[in-house]
Each structure stands twice: as structure tokens, then as C-alpha cells.
Amino acid sequence: MKITFPHMGNVYIAAKAFFEELGQEVIPPPRCSRKTLETGTKYSPETICLPLKVMIGNFIESIEKGADTILLTGSCGPCRFGFYSILEKGILNDAGYDVEFIVYDPIGEGIGKLKQNIFRTFNATNVREVLRAGRLGWGLIHKADHITDLANKTRAYAVDSYRVDFIINNYYREVEQVFGEKEMMDLMDNTIDALNQVEIKKDYNPIKIGLIGEIYTIIEPFVNFDIEKKLGHMGVLVEKSLTPTSWLEHHVSKFPFGSRTENEKYRLAKPYLETLVGGHGRETVGSAIHYAKEGFDGAIQLLPLNCMPEIVAKPILTTVNKDLEFPIMTLILDEMTGEAGFMTRLEAFVDLLERRREENLVG
Ligand code: SF4
């Protein structure tokens, strides 16, 4: 079995080391590129949401490098993600790729199949081994997310923000050279040390923006045009409302009760949106309110064109914006989105937040 998975932000870093450590042969998906998107778009239905198109591109690139098994999480929520695996298998088969899908469906869909898939991919023969693997995976993804967060914070405060890019680019290059948990953890520790040594500006109070919206567009830098980097180079402190760690905590490690942070978002969203609308629609509303209460200067909602849960959240954010006098900008992404226009909107939004802050200080 030569396994691969979708490229979603930094998940591939943890997943590569995780499955290598468990003795699996891993073909990590190459970093997303224009070619990945073009390949995915060629084979996908025109109106399907962007993440599926990019994933099809990822899978074809990995299959051409030798992968024969695709790992994917499943869903039963009221949005298209629930049928991604079925649709993707159909698309790949029609395109002539014979590949196996192993889907980690939610527990509500039946424990037997989920257990079988976990034991098989984790190379485990008993629950103890599964728990050991779980701890291993948790440690890796937690540290990978810590690096992303630290890089974003450091970039905003750095005397030379491009020094952060240099460190992170080296990290990404070396991820491909290392093998297994120990080497990956050492590389991550070295990267953290290097980031901590970046010279930072004293007494600097950056504009703070929360990134909210659909999880894939928040965490995958190729589809969001490296928004964290762009804002960081403008001296803006960026925080992401959703990360792989927060997703795992809410849906896996704290299941069935959910994490305290995500439950708090549901509570905040409740006066505006009471029910599940699929994806992270409720979290988007709750996160906007959270960032307003935390004293952030604004929030940016990111969503793929046609994303059902985020389309529901979008008009509600207009009400939140009025009620809390909290600036929120929405950016919709698809394969036709141009980077120059995207950049102009980011600059205009940051400009607006700076002027607002100055006026509040004068007033
Ligand atoms: S959350 Fe949005 S982008 Fe993701 S699968 Fe559902 S509809 Fe598509």
C-alpha cells in the first residue's frame, strides 16, 4: 500500500512523518501549484467547490508518483464534503486511475468500518497501539501548527519580515528530506529556535486580523494566495480561527463533547445562527464575534465560490458587523480569482483598519 492524502496547509508535514513512523510507504502530495489546480479543474465538475478541484489535482500528481491508496476524512454534515470521497473516486476512475480510497467516516456512520480503517492504516493490532499512534500524530500536528502560528506572529513584529520567509522556506525544503517522527521533530525544533531568534521591533502594536470562514481556504496557502504572509509583510498580526489542531481536538480527542473553544463559538453564534448549517458556518459567525470581543481590529472571511455553509454565514456577518461595529471583509476564492485584485482588497482593508484606529485614538 502506497498511501497519499490531500495537501491541506501543513497537514502533509505531520501526516508524512506519522505514517512513515507507523511503517507505511508514503507518497506525500507535492505542494499545490497552478498545475495542480489546472489538472483538478480539467477533471472536476465546473460548479463543484474549489477544494475538491485542488484535491483531484493532488491525487493525480501523487498517483503519477506511485501512490495507490488515498486517505480521506469523511463527513455526514449538510454540505458537499459528505460525498467528496464518492465523487473523487468516480472522477479518478473515469480518468483511468485505479486507486483505493480509505475514508475515516464519522463514528455515527458505523464504528466497525472506521475501526477497520484505523487499524489497517495505523498498522495496529490492538487499541493500545492505536492510542500510541494517536499521541504520535497529535504531537506532530500540534508542533506543525505551532510553527505556522509562530511564523505569523514573528513576521508581524520582525525588523526584517523576509527573514521569517527564509526560515520557513528552508523548513519546507527539509521536510521532504527527513524521515519519520524523530527527524521531523528535530527539524521542527530547529525551525522554532530559528524563528525565536528573529530580531523584532520594540513597542510595536500591530493591526490584528482574525481569519475566519471555510477551513480549507483558511489553512491552504496556495488557494488563499499566502494571505498570512502578505498580511505579515504589511506588519499585520494574523490569527486563524481554524487549524488542523483545533479540528482534531473538537472532532476526535474531545469527542463527543467537543472542545471548549469551538463550543464557545457555538454559544456566541447562537443569537444569530442556532443550527448546524454544514462545514464551519456556525464557527464563522462565532469566531467573528470572538475576535470583536478580543479587541481585534477586523476579520476576513475566506470561502470558496459556492461554499454552502459560508454563503449562509456571509449575510449574518453583515449584521454582526453592524451590531458590534466590527469590520469584516469577505474574500471569495475560485480558480479564476486574480492575485493582483486580491492584494488590492487586502491593502485597502488594512488601510481602513489603520485609519479607524487613528480616528478612535483622536476621538
Ligand atoms: S464546506 Fe464549503 S467548500 Fe467545503 S465541501 Fe462544504 S460546500 Fe464545499
The string of DSSP codes covering 35-61 is HHHHHHHHHS-TTS-HHHHHHHHHHHH
At residue 242, the pLDDT reads 96
At residue 231, the pLDDT reads 98
Rounded CA-CA distance 330/28 in Å is 32
The CA distances from residue 220 to 7, 32, 146, 181, in Å, are 8, 9, 16, 23
Mean pLDDT of 28-45: 96
Cβ(84)–Cβ(52) below 8 Å = yes
**Closest among 62, 59, 57 to 25, alpha carbons compared:** 62
CA 82 / ligand 1 centre spacing (Å): 9
Express each pLDDT in 277-336 by its tens digit. 989 999 999 999 999 999 999 999 999 998 999 999 999 999 999 999 999 999 999 999
Mean pLDDT of 51-80: 93
CA 141 to chain centre: 12
Question: Of 72-76, 114-118, 341-345, which gets the smallest average pLDDT?
Answer: 72-76
Length of the chain: 363
Q: Measured from the CA of 306, which atom of ligand 1 is nearest?
A: 7
Express each pLDDT in 201-213 by its tens digit. 999 999 999 999 9
Higher pLDDT, 149 or 106: 149
Q: Measured from the CA of 51, which atom of ligand 1 is nearest?
A: 3
CA 112 / ligand 1 centre spacing (Å): 27
Cβ(140)–Cβ(181) below 8 Å = yes
Express each pLDDT in 243-288 by its tens digit. 999 999 998 888 888 999 999 999 999 999 998 898 999 999 999 9
CA-nearest residue, atom 7 of ligand 1:
307
Ligand 1 touching residue 210 (CB < 6 A): no
At residue 76, the pLDDT reads 73
Cβ(99)–Cβ(92) below 8 Å = yes
Cell representation of residue 125: 493490532
CA 312 to chain centre: 20
**Closest among 224, 280, 219 to 245, alpha carbons compared:** 219
**Closest among 66, 47, 56 to 87, alpha carbons compared:** 56
pLDDT band at 135 (very low <50, low <70, confident <90, very high): very high
| Helix residue ranges, H only, 260-307 | 260-269, 281-293
Mean pLDDT of 82-101: 94
Rounded CA-CA distance 194/40 in Å is 36
At residue 278, the pLDDT reads 87
The phi-psi region of residue 202 (left if phi > 0; otherwise alpha if psi is between -120 and 50; otherwise beta) is beta
205-362 is a CATH 3.40.50.11900 domain: yes
Cα angle, residue 146 at apex, residues 115 and 181 outer, rounded to 5°: 55
Express each pLDDT in 150-180 by its tens digit. 999 999 999 999 999 999 999 999 999 999 9
At residue 159, the pLDDT reads 98
Per-residue pLDDT for 82 more than 80?
A: yes
Rounded CA-CA distance 236/258 in Å is 31
At residue 109, the pLDDT reads 79
User: Mean pLDDT of all residues in the chain?
Assistant: 95
Ligand 1 touching residue 81 (CB < 6 A): yes
Q: Give me the residue spans of the domains in the chain.
A: 1-201, 205-362
At residue 363, the pLDDT reads 62
Ligand 1 touching residue 51 (CB < 6 A): yes
Cβ(282)–Cβ(310) below 8 Å = no
Per-residue pLDDT for 41 more than 90?
A: yes
CA 40 / ligand 1 centre spacing (Å): 16
Using a 10 angstrom Cβ sphere, with 0-12 exposed, 13-18 middle and 19 or more buried, the burial of residue 150 is: middle
The three-state secondary structure class of 148 is: helix
Rounded CA-CA distance 339/4 in Å is 29
The three-state secondary structure class of 263 is: helix
CA-nearest residue, atom 2 of ligand 1:
307
Mean pLDDT of 231-239: 98
Going through the chain in order, the beta strands assigned E by DSSP cover 2-4, 25-26, 69-73, 100-104, 208-213, 237-240, 298-304, 328-333
At residue 151, the pLDDT reads 98
